[in-house]
């Protein structure tokens, strides 16, 4: 029997470090381990990473040579900013005249608040001429005397003319400090925002460099030869050397790992991913097979950091129930003195944000039945400043918290084998005192608890569905994290959306790390960008991921041109090896047709095959509308039976690579719209080989066709290609 190589993903959390091994061919989970995160070890979190890796390899019976891919995600950068544990930054501004005025104002970045009462440590010095070596060295001496541990050079318009920043760094090299130029962090205009992003990056640079070196040395010592990658905040991974240059890209990467797992393992095309832990739920979006990313807010200010668009709600599996209890005499800190409800009816008012973990209380549903004997309902303040309305049980075994997990188990919503599963009868016994106070039965009381928690999540999900205009016909709710069963199933009932819990939901984050693709995003502001300039940005992104180890033959590049901001953006993704996934369990024709029909919300006999490639089949139907032209929704289904692309009204054309340029030219010309807003080329996607090339981000016809030609270069003239064209309204 052939033994496949493995992909290893390690997620370094605040409390535990989780590691998983995934079969590199079938992408199935082979093993998982959990070790305490080694914050206080002399080697820091690197020690926990290596310990987790050692245990994992022993568990799955593999050698270091079997590891084809190794990546880790870490909260270290995020925690450093939250806790104010950063290096002092020496900022050297460059300029004369009006430029000097602009750069001198950057000294105010030292007023950025990292944590309550703790500001970003920054020393500022100025040089008029970046080629004046003696002046630069004097500036370096000035900031190092003030405690600078890392240097940043910044100059107005350095995006277009980087020579000044480069000269300063060259002259400062003898100081022996880590350093960076603002234009190296982002190529977007805006001196203040660009410099602020570079300064925050520099503040965590020394600490992250030390960790990177320790992890690198430890992995090498362990005999791992696979490239070591690090999770980015936009759902991809980057090479360790790239992390050494831009550690800021690891900030907010925790939620990104979970949605990456959902995207790759669950094959979501359109939907909302909810990662539920004990205290909160992180909500993110997958739209048309891609994670939603935006410029992140850091330290209360906007930045040029491209991060997952994640909304966090203070509701999790351990969130405590809050109630309004009619009662008599009160004791200390809002507790009911004798634990008894007096007169009237109680009501559930909210769930969270305080969790049982923070309150230091065990979940009532995980108690032994005997420990819940003689249970009475009371309310407490979990923390001194909290309201005294958090429900607890005082019972024979002590005090217990009533949580979302208790309610979900009482209703049988937690599946067999789930991390949060407990004995349903114990969960019902835990809810019973509250049900009596509410004057209802146990299932109704449990439902009211889940209603209170899920409604908070629902308001955010409703808003995110509107913000991204998700397709209601195909959008799904996918739950991950150890508390997934406490939120997602009930939310699906409330919203009417399809909902499911991800496989191996408790380790979805390290799975996401193991399956993530190498990613790079290049942004340029180019007014009136020509097709040559757009193609150059595309090529730069493609080359960047290849340089980090992605296999050139499998790189995909998505290009977007924003005419309002003149921003050309290219996002390249690729695997470090060509994936030849085992297709022994591929869906047959009937299964793929059924998936398309279900997504199209119609009967299979009303769906027809429009086109196909070896990797994808295109299905469509017709929706007749009174007094309006019929609509032609389309679904693209892959070999596994997963809907990978959907269009509400599209034209489909099948051709070959050799004949495609002429056909595409005609299709684009016919589907281009003209109006007060200017020219709008259609949204074009090409099915080519195993890929779906998304060219929908380009609005001008000629650059669109140029990008289409670039996607087909170096391919055989007789290779099939399918175009899916949507006219923009």
Q: Which two tokens stand for residue 517?
A: 């693709």
Is residue 519 within 8 A of residue 573, CB to CB? The reply is: yes
Least confident stretch, 296-310, 375-389, 447-461, 561-575: 296-310
Interval 111-124 mean pLDDT: 87
- Please give the pLDDT value at position 152: 95
DSSP helix, strand, coil percent of the chain (3-state; round to 5): 35, 30, 35
Strands 228-231 and 67-74: parallel
At 677, the pLDDT band (50, 70, 90 cuts) reads: low
Burial class (CB in 10 A: 0-12, 13-18, 19+), 460: middle
For 158-188, the pLDDT digits (tens) are 988 999 999 999 999 988 999 999 998 888 8
For 19-37, the pLDDT digits (tens) are 999 998 888 899 999 888 8
* Residue given tokens 């100081």 in the structure block: 175
Q: Is 635 helix (H, G, I), strand (E, B) or coil?
A: strand
Least confident stretch, 68-77, 397-406, 605-614: 68-77
Residue 587 has pLDDT above 90, yes or no: no
**CA dist., res. 574 & res. 516, Å (int):** 9
- Please give the pLDDT value at position 117: 78
Burial class (CB in 10 A: 0-12, 13-18, 19+), 668: buried
Which of 706, 703, 699 is CA-nearest to residue 726? 699
- Please give the pLDDT value at position 570: 92
At 341, the pLDDT band (50, 70, 90 cuts) reads: very low
Which of 164, 93, 99 is CA-nearest to residue 122? 93
Interval 501-507 mean pLDDT: 90
Task: Give percent above pLDDT 70 in the chain.
Answer: 95
Mean pLDDT estimate for the chain: 88
**CA dist., res. 306 & res. 234, Å (int):** 6
Strands 122-127 and 89-94: parallel
**CA dist., res. 261 & res. 502, Å (int):** 9
For 59-115, the pLDDT digits (tens) are 999 999 899 999 988 877 877 787 788 999 999 999 998 888 999 999 999 988 887
**CA dist., res. 20 & res. 34, Å (int):** 9
Residue 257 has pLDDT above 60, yes or no: yes
- Of the ranges 20-29, 211-220, 563-572, 612-621, which is most confident? 612-621
Longest dimension (CA), the chain: 85
Residue 342 has pLDDT above 60, yes or no: no
At 305, the pLDDT band (50, 70, 90 cuts) reads: confident
The answer, yes or no, to whether the previous bond of 353 is cis (omega within 30 of 0) is yes
Higher pLDDT, 679 or 487: 487
Is residue 416 within 8 A of residue 479, CB to CB? The reply is: no
As a residue count, the chain comes to 729
At 634, the pLDDT band (50, 70, 90 cuts) reads: very high
Residue 366 has pLDDT above 60, yes or no: yes
Higher pLDDT, 260 or 31: 31
- Please give the pLDDT value at position 136: 94
Interval 53-62 mean pLDDT: 93
Interval 682-704 mean pLDDT: 91
Q: Show the CA angle centred on residue 182, arms to residues 558 and 525, nearest 5°.
A: 40
At 726, the pLDDT band (50, 70, 90 cuts) reads: very high
Pick left, alpha or beta for residue 479 (phi over 0 → left; psi -120 to 50 → alpha; otherwise beta).
beta
Could you tell me which residues come within 8 angstroms of residue 93 by beta carbon, excluding any fewer than 6 positions away?
Answer: 100, 103, 104, 106, 107, 124, 125, 126, 127, 154, 155
Cβ neighbours, 10 Å, residue 564: 5
Residue 256 has pLDDT above 90, yes or no: no
R_g of the chain, CA atoms, integer Å: 28
Interval 382-403 mean pLDDT: 92
């Amino acid at each position: 029997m052939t033994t496949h190589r493995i992909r290893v993903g390690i997620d370094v959390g605040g409390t535990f470090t989780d590691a998983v091994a995934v079969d590199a061919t079938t992408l199935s989970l082979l093993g998982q381990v959990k070790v305490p995160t080694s914050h206080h070890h002399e080697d820091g979190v690197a020690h926990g990473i290596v310990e987790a890796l050692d245990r994992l390899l022993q568990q799955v019976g593999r050698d270091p040579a079997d590891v084809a891919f190794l990546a880790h995600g870490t909260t270290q950068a995020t925690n450093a900013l939250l806790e104010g544990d950063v290096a002092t930054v020496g900022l050297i501004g460059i300029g004369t005249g009006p430029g000097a005025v602009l750069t001198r104002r950057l000294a105010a970045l030292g007023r950025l608040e990292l944590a309550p009462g703790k500001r970003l440590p920054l020393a500022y010095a100025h040089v008029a001429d970046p080629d004046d070596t003696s002046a630069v060295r004097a500036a370096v001496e000035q900031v190092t005397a003030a405690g600078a541990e890392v240097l940043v050079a910044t100059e107005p318009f350095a995006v277009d003319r980087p020579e000044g920043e480069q000269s300063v760094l060259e002259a400062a090299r003898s100081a022996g400090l880590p350093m960076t130029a603002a234009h190296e962090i982002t190529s977007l205009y805006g001196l203040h925002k660009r410099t602020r992003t570079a300064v925050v990056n520099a503040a965590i640079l020394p600490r992250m460099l030390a960790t990177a070196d320790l992890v690198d040395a430890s992995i090498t010592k362990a005999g791992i030869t696979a490239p070591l990658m690090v999770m980015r905040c936009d759902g991809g991974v980057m090479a360790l050397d790239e992390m050494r240059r831009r550690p800021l890209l690891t900030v907010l990467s925790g939620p990104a790992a979970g949605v990456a797992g959902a995207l790759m393992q669950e094959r979501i095309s359109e939907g909302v991913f909810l990662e539920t832990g004990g205290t909160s739920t992180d909500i993110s979006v997958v739209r048309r097979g891609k994670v939603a990313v935006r410029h992140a807010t850091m330290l209360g200010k906007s930045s040029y950091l491209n991060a997952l668009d994640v909304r966090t709600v203070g509701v999790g599996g351990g969130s405590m129930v809050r109630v309004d209890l009619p009662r008599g005499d009160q004791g200390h800190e809002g507790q009911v003195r004798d634990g008894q409800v007096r007169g009237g009816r109680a009501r559930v008012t909210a769930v969270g944000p305080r969790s049982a973990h923070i309150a230091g209380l065990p979940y009532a549903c995980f108690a032994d039945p005997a420990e819940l004997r003689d249970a009475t309902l009371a309310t407490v303040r979990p923390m001194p400043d909290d309201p005294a309305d958090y429900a607890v049980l005082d019972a024979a075994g002590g005090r217990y918290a009533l949580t979302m997990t208790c309610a979900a188990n009482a209703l049988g919503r937690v599946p067999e084998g789930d991390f949060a599963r407990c004995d349903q009868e114990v969960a019902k016994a835990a809810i019973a005192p509250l049900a009596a106070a509410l004057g209802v039965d146990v299932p109704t009381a449990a439902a009211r608890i889940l209603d209170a928690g899920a409604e908070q999540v629902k308001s955010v999900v409703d808003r995110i569905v509107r913000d991204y205009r998700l397709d209601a016909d195909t959008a799904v709710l996918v739950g991950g994290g150890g508390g997934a069963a406490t939120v997602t199933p009930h939310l699906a009932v409330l919203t009417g959306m399809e909902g499911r819990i991800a496989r191996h939901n408790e380790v979805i984050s390290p799975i996401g790390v193991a399956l993530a693709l190498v990613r790079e995003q290049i942004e340029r502001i180019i007014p009136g960008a020509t097709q040559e300039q757009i193609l150059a940005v595309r090529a730069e992104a493609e080359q960047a991921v290849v340089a980090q180890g992605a296999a050139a033959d499998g790189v995909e590049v998505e290009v977007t041109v924003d005419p309002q901001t003149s921003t050309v953006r290219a996002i390249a993704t690729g695997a470090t090896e060509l994936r030849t996934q085992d297709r022994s369990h591929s869906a047959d024709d009937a299964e793929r047709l059924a998936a398309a029909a279900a997504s199209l919300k119609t009967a299979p006999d009303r769906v027809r095959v429009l086109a196909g490639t070896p990797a994808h089949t295109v299905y469509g139907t017709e929706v007749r509308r009174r007094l309006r032209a019929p609509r032609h929704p389309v679904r693209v289904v892959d070999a596994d039976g997963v809907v990978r692309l959907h269009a509400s009204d599209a034209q489909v054309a099948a051709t070959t690579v050799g004949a495609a340029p002429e056909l595409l030219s005609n299709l684009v010309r016919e589907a281009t719209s003209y109006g007060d807003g200017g020219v709008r080329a259609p949204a074009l996607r090409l099915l080519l080989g195993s890929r779906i090339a998304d060219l929908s981000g380009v609005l001008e016809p000629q650059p669109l066709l140029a990008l289409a030609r670039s996607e087909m270069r170096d391919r055989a003239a007789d290779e099939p290609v399918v175009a899916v064209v949507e006219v923009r309204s």
